[in-house]
Amino acid sequence: MTNKWKYLTFLLLFLTGSCSSLNIDKSSVMKTTSTAVGGYFGYELSDGDLLSTTIGSTVGAIVGNYLVDFINQDDYYFFKEETLRILEINDNNIAVNSGYWKNPKSGNRGVVKIMGHYGSPECRLIENIYVKGESTNNSYGTACREKSGQWAMIR
């Protein structure tokens, strides 16, 4: 392995590993790193051509966005998406007050139930029946409608 690759590998491991201790947004680091790596490959493969470096950086940024989206899809992501979907449906059809979510990566799943509403701004109490393997846990949260009309989850 050449010195450039050792340095690049060390830098990537340092940045991604130190994000949690430095309170840096991992998705920003991943996007920036993939853009830089794409630019580097574009530069190396084209002998320093500016157009190829720019194309490599652009491809790296696109790949980085897809990687960040994929990595951020944890159980909470699927729970939140289903909850927001059910809240929108519930506004138009009071009879629909529950939904089902599943994380295809982890296999964990759950049921979302709208339990009731309260307060101003309009807020809803949400129950999540979370199934991980053979164990089941209930948790409660709140979602409120923002001034923009969109629902926002409040943990």
Q: Which pLDDT tens digit goes with each residue over 13-23?
A: 555 554 444 55
Closest-CA residue to 36 (of 16, 12, 14): 12
pLDDT for 92 equals 66
Q: What percent of the chain has pLDDT over 90?
A: 4
DSSP 149: S
Q: Whole-angstrom Cα distance, residue 140 to residue 69?
A: 26
DSSP 23: T
Residue 73 in this model has a pLDDT that exceeds 70: no
Q: How confident is the model at residue 112 (pLDDT cuts 50, 70, 90)?
A: very high
pLDDT for 7 equals 61
Tell me the Cα Rg of the chain: 22
Burial class (CB in 10 A: 0-12, 13-18, 19+), 73: middle
pLDDT for 9 equals 63
Residues 21, 15 contacting (CB under 8 angstroms): no
> Would you call 136 helix, strand, or coil by DSSP?
strand
The per-residue DSSP string of 104-134 comes to TTT--EEEEEEEEEETTTTEEEEEEEEEETT
Q: What is the mean pLDDT of the segment spanning 113-120?
A: 79
Q: Does pTM top 0.85 for this prediction?
A: no
Question: Can you say whether residue 119 is alpha, beta or left, with left for phi > 0 and alpha for psi between -120 and 50 degrees?
Answer: left
Maximum mean pLDDT: which of 34-38, 64-68, 93-97, 146-150: 146-150
Residue ranges covered by each domain of the chain: 3-71, 75-154
User: Which position has the higher pLDDT, 59 or 152?
Assistant: 152
